[in-house]
Amino acid sequence: MESSQKWYHTNIGIATLLVLFFPIGLYLMWKHAHWDNRLKYGITGFWTIFILLGLVSGGSDSKNDQKVTSTQNVTITSPIEPSIVPTLQTIVTTSQSTHNGVFARVVKVVDGDTIKLDTGEVVRYIGIDTPESVDPRKPVQCYAKEASAKNKELVEGKTVELEKDISETDKYRRLLRYIWVGNTLINEYLVREGYAHASSYPPDIKYQDRFTQAQQLARQEQKGLWGVTCATNPTIAPTTGVKQQTITNTNQNQKNTGGYTCDCSKTCPSMSCDEAQFQLKSCGCTARDNDGDGVACDVQCG
């Protein structure tokens, strides 16, 4: 009898179970519901598609979550690389030319701007002059020993790159070259740190603008030979510890040194190169050194 029929066998019970408990409802629908087969197939197809869409959507969300987690992990654990600023101490000299030069090993530093190579050749740095320390004809100039020591620190015992400009050698048959240690131009470095003057010797002027700018900066900062010590003691190296009186620039100064007498009125054509250098360095006759490179009468003696 209809009254004895269990509630989940009724149409209302089966419909309720289809909504709340689909698998059970689907089973009871096909087992006990006297519905049209097209309706049953429609309900079965609807729930099947619904479940499949749910599975696909859930899998996509899971993959996205994994990607986000992976990205976050990479961001968190990725190390931050420190910024590396090249300095002279970190330069590694290689045998691969980067300035169209050749490589050679420095076996001896003669002074602040002259070196000797393992080939036996002597090299004079282009475009700069360091204070004089080894010429017996000239007094030891301020900061000469410091310049030589710095040059020794920079290049002695190292393989350097030698870059040629226009001239091959000077009048003393020394090679004229720019000296590179890695990407550091030693000629420029010595000028920038106050160990050398910038000096122009045409036609070898490739880096002259750089040297001039480096000298201006060193002078503004009063570095090295532009400092107070060398301003008051131009001809004596400060490391000697001997305090010298400033030489007064006067015409017809009767002080005699090396057979020469101070006379700032004398012109370059009327004296030898040695005397011209004496007038400049010992007597302070700066008119003999128009370009300020420390060499008197450049036209005749440069």
Instruction: Tell me the catalytic residues.
Output: 124, 132, 174
What the block records as the tokens of 142 is 């301020």
Q: How far is CA 253 from CA 231, 235, 265, 277, in A?
A: 21, 18, 11, 16
In terms of DSSP H, where are the helices of 33-175? Answer: 37-77, 144-155
- 164 with 176: CB under 8 angstroms? yes
Q: Which helix (H) or strand (E) holds 211?
A: helix 208-220
- Cα angle 15, 21, 22 (rounded to 5 degrees) comes to 70
Chain centroid to CA 91: how far?
A: 9
- 125 with 160: CB under 8 angstroms? no
DSSP code for 21: S
SS3 at position 73: helix
Question: Torsions phi, psi of 129, nearest 5?
Answer: -135, 125
SS3 content of the chain, % helix, strand, coil (to 5): 45, 15, 40
Q: Is the peptide bond before 203 cis (omega within 30 degrees of 0)?
A: yes
- 121 with 175: CB under 8 angstroms? yes
